Structure 1
Amino acid sequence: MAEITLSPASGLTLPGYLRHVAAGTPAATFVREPDGAELGYAAALEEATAIASGLIALGVGRGDRVHLHLPNSAAFLTHLLAVAEIGAVAVPTSPESSSDELAYVLSHSGCVVSVSSLLGRPAVEEARDLCPDLRDIRGPGELATLGQHRTAAGWPPPDSLDPVAILYTSGTTGWPKGVVITHANLLIAGEVVAGHLRLRPDDRWLVTLPLSHGNALFYSAMSALVTGASMVVCDGLDPAGWVELAGGHGVTVTSFFASGIRRLLASPAHPADRDHTIRAALFGQPLTPAQLSAFETRFGLPLLQIYGMTETVSPVLMNPLYGQRRNDTLGLPVLGYPLRVAGSPDAPGELLVGGTPGVTLMAGYYNAPQLTSRVIDDGWLHTGDQVRLEPDGYVSFVDRQADILKPDTENVSAGEVERVLAEHPSVLEAAVTGAADDDGGQHVVAYVAVRPGEDVTAEELLDHCRVRLSPYKVPKDLHMVADLPRTPTGKVRRHALGGER
């Protein structure tokens, strides 16, 4: 008797999903831009096929890496789908990347073609001399034009376990790592988020985070694709126009980083702040209880804190859409992802995520097998994040292992000090790092951005810490800054603050 082996990844490919939705609802909106321009699913398939033919004309083949240096736009998505169509691998980067950053990513990944916006192209050109594999740089409209003059190549379809993207981590410390993502990875992440949010085809995402990074690509774009839903893609978050944009386009779901929520709270309140149709907003990175309450009260929409990494692809902890939301925690484990907390019972420990590389976990780090084997050991991904299991089953974030300082014999959690500083009513945001002492030790340093119009001194903030922290946790130095340096996804670039971790 013939047997057919089935797995959760069977048949999952981006082109397959796109064709399925385009055949069923060809006129349904896939992506809309803020000016109202729309691209339907059938039109997206046609555009992606033309771009794929253009890539073939440039000699791009299965497994070749293609650089996408594009802002949030319909073009980003159609080029990603075109790369997937021919079994190639997309390497997206932020349009804000410097030439040095691009030189590393392009040379390390071995990209053969770069597709760059007009604004981003000078940095790509500047990096080109250090990228021996890069043969061609094209604008986002050029490949489709090439493809329209060719006969369909009839290329073989990709497999669900084929790599489809390499996302480079933000590089807050050390060189960025290339996280290899498969077709199955992306679509399973989309299914997890779509199921958790109970997405329907008439739902619409507002995407303000960069599609070149995991949150927007994995959670928003992929959940829209697997559901046949739509998205409005914006090149960044505009606090002044956010509600009007969401309301005008009928947005129902969105996603933030904590820094974006703080920016919205810092913007002037308006009587129309609740004039929207959003029913849920995901967010990552911690907020204070006061910030959580202020946001939900002002904007009238529920926040759901979630936890995931580029390496896990899908979120692995999420606060529930229905039932008890504990946004002071990362939420509850999602279906299909076994979790462990390594260490002693009733104490914080490292979060481990179980899964299958290339299916529910990243396939690995590009050209780094030893690093991959250290991070994924016997089917368990070591996140490097310290968490605590609460009695009710929710999981609380404690700190990154890399964010644990050692100024003396005791460890200091950078996150704990940042939380205490953020609780001061004059503080907008704080970042804590470590600096080397003359004797080779380390001391705690804080960088604080103050709310507009507030007048507070560094000594007052240190007094605030002295009341709430053990003496060894109080920063030795505190610097007032206008703003904190960030990665494109909103994470604080601690290495750029002047301290050492």
Structure 2
Amino acid sequence: MDIIGDRTLRSLLEEKVSIHATKTWIAFEDAGGHQTTKTYAEFYDGVLKLSNALLDLNIQKGDHVTIHLPNNIEFLTTWFALAHIGAIMVPTNILSSADEMSYIINHSESVLLITEEEHVEKFQNIIEDLPTIQHIILTRFKNESPSLLNFDRLIEKASTDTSRFPKVSTEDVVGMLYTSGTTSKPKGVQITNANYIYTGELMSKSIQVTEDDRMFIVLPLFHGNAQYYSTMSALVTGGSIALTEKFSASRYFKQAKSLGGTVGSLFAAPIRMILAKDYTEELRENPIRLVMYAQAIAEHQIKEFEEKFDCKLLHMYGMTETVGIPLINPLNGVRKNLSIGRPSIGYEVKLIDEQGEEVTQGTVGQIAVKGVPGRTIMKQYFKNEEATRQTLQDGWLLTGDNARIGEDGYFYFVDRVKDMIKRSGENVAAQEVESVLTQHLAVYECAVIGVPDDMRDEAIKAFVILNKDMSVTEEELIEFCKERLAKFKVPNSIEFVEDFPRTPVGKIQKHILRSSISI
């Protein structure tokens, strides 16, 4: 037996309720600033009632249910209620268009949609194209409608009877998270009970979460980060979560203090946004001891954040498919946050070339993660055997990301395989050029791409956002790069922009930048 055993989300929650019934499990602040709390017992009561309400609607084990909600208590209640009856949560981005939602709902064959009044028109306009949807439930719904079910009313009328619940196992799929689909149609990543529990155990031990910690969640719950690293870390330890409906850069540490958050999780873009806001010394007086983060930020930004807010930053690497974090900087060892760390508990990581052979130290190769499908890595892609075969090979998950291993044994992210720039026979990592550009004090953020070039295969183009009230010319930045990069890595052109197209967690969508270039 491994650390997961035969546990499920259902049995895990039951266990924690038996130990911590009266302890606060969720402290939530909505978009209007109103705060509410739920104890373990109160949350569990809502989960049992919603489970029975869903069974009354004929939601069966194995059915897919689309959740189209902002961060709120209802999202979490739905997630665990579905897991209790063996149904599968399909969480989605509330900013997704009608066309994007039509694809996900139809591909997943979802039988139920749970959303809010603000978003319902988007679905009513395409309802004829969603033949599998049987019901629409609205949360925080104050009105009545014959065609729309009220989340609160369903719970009020439901029982807490558990005798109707089907048998569930640790290997059952309980979540399906769709990839961002930057190069193709989004893929449904199947996540099991075991996956969720494993990543909770892994992360809680890697960052030393205890039952006294409160994980501060400002990233969207539909994303793996908030589910895997924060919610599950809190649950397996009997801790708690502080949840905000929306991320606010100016109020991040104020909200953490108000809600009692002790461990945060961010991406590079939100960190930069926080640093760009006005700073007062009172912001140092916050309860956050650690912020884990993904995606690179400049060395001076790491130092500034840690000094201003008196908390540790911990750079890590993972993706929806790896479920857990296969690479992370050591909390109590030497943190080298310009790297993505070293292999974490339970994972083996190697770098491979295009033939699948392991590369030597210092050589760039694709990150491959060894794991057990459905336990330590994703089970598979839903209805996509070819993509599953390409990604899961002989017990290894191929990430599509390039890195190198330094002499210090730490892994250093290079770039997405598809983002490597081919220039005059040389490979140029966009991330290396971006790292140099962000060293310039006038540069807030940048993105580098390859563009077609008749002479050199590809030319290097940089898009740059400047810091407020600062200026620099294209020529000055190119000269800055020439002093720090080999000649073939220096950008050919630089375009100044106000912002970038981004994914919901702030990742720059380079495919959109590429499509904006006239050829």
TM-score range relative to shorter protein? over 0.9
* Residue of structure 1 equivalent to 2:43: 44
C-alpha separation in 1, matches of 2:106 and 2:491: 40
C-alpha separation in 1, matches of 2:423 and 2:117: 47
User: What is the TM-score when the length of structure 2 is the normalising length?
Assistant: 0.92
* Residue of structure 2 equivalent to 1:139: 138
C-alpha separation in 1, matches of 2:131 and 2:455: 44
* Residue of structure 1 equivalent to 2:463: 447
Identity score, percent = 37
Instruction: Identify the range of structure 1 (380-389 vs 118-127) with the bigger mean alpha-carbon deviation.
Output: 118-127
* Residue of structure 2 equivalent to 1:363: 379
Superposed, 1:153-302 pairs within 5 Å as 154-302=164-312
* Residue of structure 2 equivalent to 1:344: 359
C-alpha separation in 2, matches of 1:492 and 1:129: 34
Q: Cα 1:440–1:423, aligned 2, differ >3 Å: closer, same or farther? A: closer
* Residue of structure 2 equivalent to 1:323: 333
1:314: Cα distance to partner?
Answer: 0.4
* Residue of structure 1 equivalent to 2:425: 409
Q: Cα 1:433–1:126, aligned 2, differ >3 Å: closer, same or farther? A: farther
Q: Which amino acid aligns with 2:462?
A: A
1:110: Cα distance to partner?
Answer: 0.9
Instruction: Identify the range of structure 1 (257-266 vs 335-344) with the bigger mean alpha-carbon deviation.
Output: 335-344
* Residue of structure 2 equivalent to 1:32: 27
1:124: Cα distance to partner?
Answer: 2.8
Superposed, 1:90-169 pairs within 5 Å as 90-140=89-139, 142-143=150-151, 145-150=153-158, 152=161, 154-169=164-179
Please tell me whether residue 395 in structure 1 is matched to residue 411 in structure 2. yes
Please tell me whether residue 12 in structure 1 is matched to residue 11 in structure 2. no
Contact 2:424 2:456 in 1 (8 A): no
Instruction: Identify the range of structure 1 (71-80 vs 114-123) with the bigger mean alpha-carbon deviation.
Output: 114-123
1:459: Cα distance to partner?
Answer: 2.4
Instruction: Identify the range of structure 1 (272-281 vs 433-442) with the bigger mean alpha-carbon deviation.
Output: 433-442
Contact 1:47 1:144 in 2 (8 A): no
Contact 2:500 2:508 in 1 (8 A): yes
Instruction: Identify the range of structure 1 (138-147 vs 204-213) with the bigger mean alpha-carbon deviation.
Output: 138-147
SS of 1:75's partner is helix
1:150: Cα distance to partner?
Answer: 4.6
Return 5+ residue gaps in structure 2 as ranges.
141-149, 353-357
* Residue of structure 2 equivalent to 1:3: none
CA offsets per residue over residues 134-172 of structure 1, 9 Å max, x none?
222111252453354355361223111100111011222
SS of 2:311's partner is coil
* Residue of structure 1 equivalent to 2:355: none
Q: Cα 1:457–1:126, aligned 2, differ >3 Å: closer, same or farther? A: farther
Please tell me whether residue 435 in structure 1 is matched to residue 443 in structure 2. no
1:424: Cα distance to partner?
Answer: 1.1
Contact 1:54 1:143 in 2 (8 A): no
Q: Cα 1:473–1:440, aligned 2, differ >3 Å: closer, same or farther? A: closer
User: What is the TM-score when the length of structure 1 is the normalising length?
Assistant: 0.95
1:93: Cα distance to partner?
Answer: 0.6
Q: Which amino acid aligns with 1:446?
A: A
Contact 1:190 1:225 in 2 (8 A): yes
Contact 1:443 1:475 in 2 (8 A): yes
Contact 1:436 1:500 in 2 (8 A): no
Q: Which amino acid aligns with 1:25?
A: H
1:121: Cα distance to partner?
Answer: 2.0
Return 5+ residue gaps in structure 1 as ranges.
1-5
SS of 1:468's partner is coil
Q: Which amino acid aligns with 1:368?
A: N
Q: Cα 1:476–1:440, aligned 2, differ >3 Å: closer, same or farther? A: closer
Q: Cα 1:499–1:444, aligned 2, differ >3 Å: closer, same or farther? A: farther
* Residue of structure 2 equivalent to 1:73: 72
Instruction: Identify the range of structure 1 (114-123 vs 86-95) with the bigger mean alpha-carbon deviation.
Output: 114-123
Q: Which amino acid aligns with 1:355?
A: G
Instruction: Identify the range of structure 1 (22-31 vs 116-125) with the bigger mean alpha-carbon deviation.
Output: 116-125
Contact 1:433 1:500 in 2 (8 A): no
Instruction: Identify the range of structure 1 (138-147 vs 221-230) with the bigger mean alpha-carbon deviation.
Output: 138-147
Instruction: Identify the range of structure 1 (210-219 vs 7-16) with the bigger mean alpha-carbon deviation.
Output: 7-16
C-alpha separation in 1, matches of 2:373 and 2:113: 28
Contact 2:242 2:260 in 1 (8 A): no
1:7: Cα distance to partner?
Answer: 4.0
Contact 1:54 1:145 in 2 (8 A): no
C-alpha separation in 1, matches of 2:414 and 2:239: 35
Contact 2:61 2:166 in 1 (8 A): no
C-alpha separation in 1, matches of 2:260 and 2:342: 29
C-alpha separation in 2, matches of 1:140 and 1:150: 16
Q: Cα 1:126–1:12, aligned 2, differ >3 Å: closer, same or farther? A: farther
Q: Which amino acid aligns with 2:503?
A: T
Q: Which amino acid aligns with 1:47?
A: G
